[in-house]
């Protein structure tokens, strides 16, 4: 089993940046596809970004493409989400997730993830 703990959320003005981190327990981190999802109040959870096993493959939601960057450090059992050019509509609770994807490739499907963190709040003021 994998336990995931997110950090790095907070309050930022529009146009600002934040870097989220997700630390994973266990020694099998490099065997998991990692993803970030977010959920705003009253809305369904939505996919943000995903990274494959070795970090070389990534996918992004259209809404964050060009502004957000996902990366992973398998030596530190950590996945990151660098968020630049933040907008008020990015306000949400951000959660990381670990799964096996399809042959280790990034996935935007939440059904491909088995483990989820508790989330960290990101609030962007206008």
Confidence of residue 31 (pLDDT cuts 50, 70, 90): very high
Confidence of residue 55 (pLDDT cuts 50, 70, 90): confident
CA-wise closest residue to 9 among 24, 21, 25: 21
Dihedral-angle region of residue 50 (phi above 0 means left; psi in -120 to 50 means alpha; beta otherwise)? beta
Confidence of residue 67 (pLDDT cuts 50, 70, 90): very high
Q: What pLDDT does residue 119 have?
A: 97
Residues contacting 17, CB < 8 A, separation 6+:
82, 83, 84, 85, 86
- The conformation of residue 89, written as its DSSP 8-state character, comes to G
pLDDT at residue 26 greater than cutoff 80: no
Confidence of residue 126 (pLDDT cuts 50, 70, 90): very high
Q: What pLDDT does residue 54 have?
A: 84
Q: What pLDDT does residue 100 have?
A: 87
115 touches 43 (CB < 8 A): no
Q: What pLDDT does residue 60 have?
A: 98
pLDDT at residue 101 greater than cutoff 90: no
Neighbours of 42 (CB within 10 A): 5
Confidence of residue 102 (pLDDT cuts 50, 70, 90): confident
């Amino acid at each position: 089993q994998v336990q995931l703990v997110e950090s790095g959320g907070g309050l930022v003005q529009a146009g600002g940046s934040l870097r989220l981190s997700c630390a994973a327990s266990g020694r099998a981190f490099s065997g998991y596809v990692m993803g970030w999802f977010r959920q705003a109040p009253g809305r369904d959870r939505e996919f943000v970004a995903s990274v494959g096993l070795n970090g070389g493959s990534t996918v992004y939601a259209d809404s964050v493409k060009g502004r957000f960057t996902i990366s992973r450090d398998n030596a530190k059992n950590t996945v990151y989400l660098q968020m630049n050019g933040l907008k008020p509509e990015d306000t949400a609770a951000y959660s990381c997730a670990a799964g096996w994807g399809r042959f280790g490739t990034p996935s935007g499907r939440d059904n491909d993830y088995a483990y989820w963190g508790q989330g960290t709040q990101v609030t962007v003021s206008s």
